[in-house]
Amino acid sequence: MMTLYVSPYRRAARMGRRLEERIPTRNVSAREKVLAVDVKADEEAYTISALIPGIEADEINVEILKNTVSIRGEFNDDEENEQEKFLVSELPAGRFYRELTLPTALDSSKVDASLKNGVFTLRVLKAEVDRPKVIKINTN
């Protein structure tokens, strides 16, 4: 009689590879960093906030399509002097990108974007059809 040993580690690794093959990849370059954001919702709009230090307002690209918001830009790299060597380099550098799919359609004609002290804030109104309506009842 032949005994067959199946390693649980090898089996888990194989399952992980199969799972990775089935998950669709995002359309983000390997060099682009994912921008961390906060998203708040109220009855009328979504407010998206992100820390983007050292960037000018005209260096940020925002696109809105249906219920998707895309934010893209690039952190400026300081000119590196060959005589200076970094001991620690933790400041952001390179391109960043973030795409958010929100639960409701957006009104791209009513957008307010601001950049103050490195904090980027984007307020996008929900489409009129997705906003809750208050109906008053007459008692006549």
Quote the domain boundaries for residue 49.
Answer: 28-76+92-127
2 belongs to a structural domain? no
**pLDDT(40) > 90:** yes
Predicted local distance difference test score (pLDDT) of residue 101:
93
Inside any domain, residue 102: yes
Average pLDDT for 28-40: 77
- Range in 42-51, 69-78, 131-140 with the lowest mean pLDDT: 131-140
In a domain, 108, yes or no: yes
Give 96: exposed, middle or buried? Use CB within 10 Å, 0-12, 13-18, 19+: buried
Q: Residue 57: inside a domain, yes or no?
A: yes
* Integer angstrom CA distances of residue 137 from 128, 130, 133, 140: 21, 21, 13, 9
pLDDT at 123 over 80: yes
Cα 103 to Cα 20, 60, 93: the distances in Å are 26, 24, 31
Per-residue pLDDT, 70: 94
pLDDT (0 to 100) of residue 117: 92
Q: Is residue 133 part of a domain?
A: no
pLDDT digits (tens, 9 = 90+) for 59-98: 999 999 989 999 999 987 665 556 677 788 777 788 899 9
How many structural domains is the chain composed of?
Answer: 1
- Is the pLDDT assigned to residue 3 strictly greater than 90? no
**Structural domain contains residue 106:** yes
The confidence band for 128, taking pLDDT boundaries of 50, 70 and 90, is confident
**If you average pLDDT over residues 37-46, what whole number do you get?**
93
Asked if residue 17 is part of any domain, the answer here is: no
The model's confidence at residue 31, banded by pLDDT at 50, 70 and 90, is: low
- Domain CATH for 37: 2.60.40.790
Residue 7 lies in a domain: no
